[in-house]
Amino acid sequence: MRGAVYPDLRAFECGGMKFTDIAVRGGSGFCFQDSGGEGNNLYERCSISYRDMPEGAKDAPLLAANADGLHSADARIGPKVIDCRFEGLNDDAIAIHGTYAMVLEANENRIVAYRVPMTRSKMIGRPGDKLHFYDENLALAGEAIITGVKALIDYQNTYDPGNRYSAFRPRKNAGYIELTLDRPVPARRQWLLANQNDCGGDFIVRNAQIRDTSARGVYAQSPGGLIEGCTIQNTGRAAVEFNTETGIWSQADYSSNVIVRNNTFRSVATNRRPGLLRHAGAVTILAFNGRTYIPRSGGHRNITIENNRFEDIDGLNILVCSAQDITIRGNDFINPMRNEKTFGVEKGVDPTSLIWINESSDVKLSGNVVTNPGPFLKKLVGASATGSGSGLESGVVIAGDPAKAP
């Protein structure tokens, strides 16, 4: 362990930067931290790996860094991560997100919002930006365009949102912003808002090699993105996760218009310890309020998972919750469910299903094939009473020997 967690390379308030052939060996924290600004920064052929064994040591280093590989927050355009190799990380390999703000006052087209101290988006947005509003149930409840922005220097905030929204409890370095909108929004205090132009949208992760990380391979909370041609293996949590964090970190937004294609996910989601931010699945789409999954249909929209290989993954392979218009097609599932896994039961998930759908609508499955399933695969597609779509009975088949079908 290397003590304090500091970034090794920072790109703050930058745009159009190019970082090529940079190797971090034995990083201290976020190896690459990309925060705020116009974004659209390129990381090409960069790598994160272990440092050499220190002189006199008997064992090689356990970790290559203390935290994330690339952590991108509040960028106008998301990063382009091309041909990079990350291993040995003590958190997510790649994380991309914006930051929620909280409504304190609302009157027709005027909003007063709380800006958390940690964000790089100090004014929440700029005229022309699109905002998404989420109600008390964290369901999408409206959208509007910003027409005016003003900092409220002397605003007195007496509201305490409670432990559910702990990120909005500090007063030090917080900001209070008045937003004028192009239309009335029926918002109320405690609603959250996310700036669609400040969440690292239109990111690209292509041909990445990610392995041996304690958390997720790619963790994206952005409107628009592509994850393509990657190999992700031996991760503690999901290979790819779409989530929304509204309490501790207040990381926005729900994901929309994202494609995950032509990737290989091998022996991932191996850490089955229950926890608030721990969910079953090699690829997960979800929103969780600390007790249950967010009621249908949350805020995830238009995500495609196609032509990927899922290899040697026990337990649930794909989780779909709090979403609509999700396409799962042409994927190959090799050797699933060889060993028994019960992870997810504590949150109501059926871990004997290859794919499980909950609090979601318009989930479309087609052309998915399972090869050599193990004895613990009991159902190809499971759905709760709040999960619906097409192809749930026919969109996943067993290759070769129909007798192996559950």
Residues 74, 16 share a domain: yes
Report CA-CA distances (Å) from 214 to 53, 64, 65, 88: 21, 11, 11, 8
Alpha carbon distance 95, 251 (integer Å): 10
Looking at the fold, whether 343 and 234 belong to one and the same domain comes out as yes
Give pTM, 2 decimals. 0.95
- Note whether 78 and 104 are same-domain residues: no
Is the distance from CB of 141 to CB of 186 less than 8 angstroms? Answer: yes
Q: 138 and 115, same structural domain?
A: yes
Say yes or no: 336 and 208 in one domain: yes
- Tell which of 65, 91, 117 closes a domain: 91
Residues of the chain with confidence (pLDDT) below 70: 1-4, 272, 401-405
State the CATH number of the domain containing residue 378: 2.160.20
Residues 224 and 366 in one domain: yes
Q: Which amino acid is at 80?
A: K
Q: Tell me: do 58 and 153 sit in the same domain.
A: no
Whether residues 360 and 306 fall in one domain: yes
Are 252 and 317 in a shared domain? Answer: yes
Q: Examine the domain organization and report whether 161 and 282 are in the same domain.
A: no
Name the 3-class secondary structure at 315: coil
Predicted pLDDT at 3: 60
pLDDT for residue 271 = 78
Q: Which residue has the tokens 């997100």?
A: 97
Dihedral sign for Cα 175, 181, 187, 188, please.
positive
End position of a domain, from candidates 62, 91, 120 = 91
Parent domain of 387: 199-406
Same domain, 56 and 175: no
Q: How many domains does the chain have?
A: 3
Report phi then psi at 245, rounded to 5: -110, 115
Q: What is the pLDDT of residue 20?
A: 98
Give the residue from 91, 117, 148 where a domain finishes: 91
Question: How far is it, in rounded angstroms, from Cα 70 to Cα 31?
Answer: 6
Q: Which residue has the tokens 């926005």?
A: 252
CATH code (residue 112): 2.40.30
Do 245 and 132 share a domain, yes or no?
A: no
Query: DSSP labels for 351-400?
Result: TTEEEEEEEEEEEEEESEEEES--TT--EEEEE-TTEEEE-TTTSEEESS
Per DSSP, the three-state class of 194 is strand
| Confidence at residue 406, expressed as pLDDT on a 0 to 100 scale | 73
